[in-house]
Amino acid sequence: MRPEKNPVLAVTPGPAAGVRGAIAGNLRRTRLARGFSVRELAELTGVSKALISQIERGVANPTIEVLTRVAHALGLTFAELTRVHLTGPEVIRRGEGTTVAVGETTVRSLFAAPDRRRFELAEGDLPPMTRSTKSAHGPGSVEHAYVVSGEVTVETGAWSVCLDEGDAVRFAAELDHVYVTGERGCRVLTLLSFSED
């Protein structure tokens, strides 16, 4: 009997909300780690306390100039301040995603990287009852997997998700992870992106 499919654990409502939330979390986390109060950070940057507080709550749309001053004061690059971090797997099921017809071809857009990264694309054929070698790919790495045929379970120490033909998953590849097949084998496409930092 097949295990019940896991629900989506991390969904971003939209690109703008996702970036605002990432900036809010990155700003607050770094400010607290550096030991700055909101007032101290405001004095260092010339940005009002109210605006810094709004940015930390994810309700402001600060200019690039403001974000650059805040990043500099915190000792971060602009990319580090605005980077979206995955906290759990983001799953797109068969029939989901954006589908576009280009002539007679249908293109299904699954994931788009919001920043510049290096990529590695691989196709894997996993026989039935196989457990891949445990792997992790370094800080900031993200793995995308698309099941072409069969079914597979992706496991880490924190979560596992079952995928059928046509399903996709994206997760932080700095975690140790394995691919596990059941009675059916699987063909899976993986796209691994590495942070440029």
CB-CB contact of 55 with 70 (8 Å)? yes
Residue 152's alpha-carbon distances to 3, 124, 127, 131, in angstroms, are 11, 11, 10, 10
pLDDT in the model for residue 100: 61
Higher pLDDT, 185 or 9: 185
pLDDT in the model for residue 44: 93
**Side-chain half-sphere of 9: how many Cα atoms within 13 Å?**
15
Report which DSSP code applies to 122.
E
Summarize the confidence of residues 100-104 as an average pLDDT: 54
User: Domains in the chain, ordered, with CATH?
Assistant: 15-82 (1.10.260.40), 90-194 (2.60.120.10)
- What is the distance between the alpha carbons of residues 19 and 112, in angstroms, rounded to a whole number? 14
Per-residue model confidence as pLDDT tens digits over 5-17: 433 333 334 455 6
Band of residue 160 on the pLDDT scale cut at 50, 70, 90 = very high
Distance of CA 11 to the CA centre of its chain: 10
State pTM to two decimals.
0.50
Q: Which residue, 54, 38, 39, 47, is CA-closest to 69?
A: 47
- What is the distance between the alpha carbons of residues 78 and 86, in angstroms, rounded to a whole number? 18
As a whole-number percent, the residues of the chain with pLDDT over 70 amount to 79
pLDDT in the model for residue 45: 94
